[in-house]
Amino acid sequence: MAAVQRLLRAAASGGSAAARRRMTSLATEQAPSAAAGFPFAAEERARRLPMAERNVQWVFLGCPGVGKGTYASRLSRLLGVPHIATGDLVRDELASTGPLATQLAEIVNQGKLVSDEIIFNLLSKRLKKGEDQGESGFILDGFPRTVKQAEILDGVTDIDMVVNLKLREDVLVEKCLGRRICGQCGKNFNLACIDVKGENGLPAIYMEPLLPPNNCMSKLITRADDTEEVVRNRLRIYNDMSQPVEGFYREQGKLLEFDLPGGIPESWPKLLQVLNLEDQEELKLAAA
């Protein structure tokens, strides 16, 4: 499959020395059987660059609303690697005029799941575009979602680390119910001010709201599926699907579980600490 061939070639492009020093040395390469059925898999595995010669290749997992996109995008800027969310890839393709857009529209309109082949096609297309523009490495956001996808991905490229963001369910529900979108500019905000006391062995959590500017306040829209019943059901489905994927990477020694202690001001420095990273911009601001 040409998509698989492009995927590894793009993902294996070289990285900077600074980023290489930041990487965590983890488990050795495995060759899952699921990837063996994809043409070019063996050839592409042979072309992989060792970790010391490329940039980070990380995956971010976590329940809907936990903040994967927020922390993945911050790390992508810090490390100089692209932040790639497969949901964004699907939406971008749907908005295009390419032949795949028509096929995707039919799938989405019928409520069906997008196939692994299409997802990997979109991913390889994105990585190839980034490679041509000089990008190196990647941070995948919310992908893979199944063990099959993880096995295929593992068969054609090397994932260095999988960061699993975790947050207690009652806080997740409150966060999701507070989400709003500006109907004019399309930006995301959150009206929930979360102040949960610690009890029953669970820590206290405080998260400030992410309020919109005045010009967006009157144009806020609530997602139709952001009701408590739907959100809790969505979380149950995610947990059922994610546990095998987490186990897959845990067995490889690549899974890093990170319990968010609060909002961005509390969580970001601690996440950097466990990743052995420093945010130079924030250090400059603190010293000013």
Residues designated as active site: 68, 145, 179, 223, 234
Q: Which residues contact 254 (CB under 8 A, 6 or more apart)?
A: 26, 27, 159, 160, 161, 162
Distance CA 227, CA 218 (A): 21
Distance CA 265, CA 72 (A): 15
How many other C-beta atoms lie within 10 A of the C-beta of residue 87?
A: 12
> Are 182 and 212 contacting, i.e. CB atoms less than 8 angstroms apart?
yes
Torsion of CA 268, 247, 41, 72, to 10 degrees: -10
Distance CA 278, CA 15 (A): 18
Distance CA 38, CA 57 (A): 21
Q: What angle do CA 252, 253, 259 make, to 5 degrees?
A: 125
Distance CA 17, CA 217 (A): 44
β-sheet bridge partners, residue 10 = none
How many other C-beta atoms lie within 10 A of the C-beta of residue 187?
A: 12
Cβ-count burial 190-220 (b if 16+ within 10 Å, e if not): bebebebeeeeeeeebebeebebeeebeeee
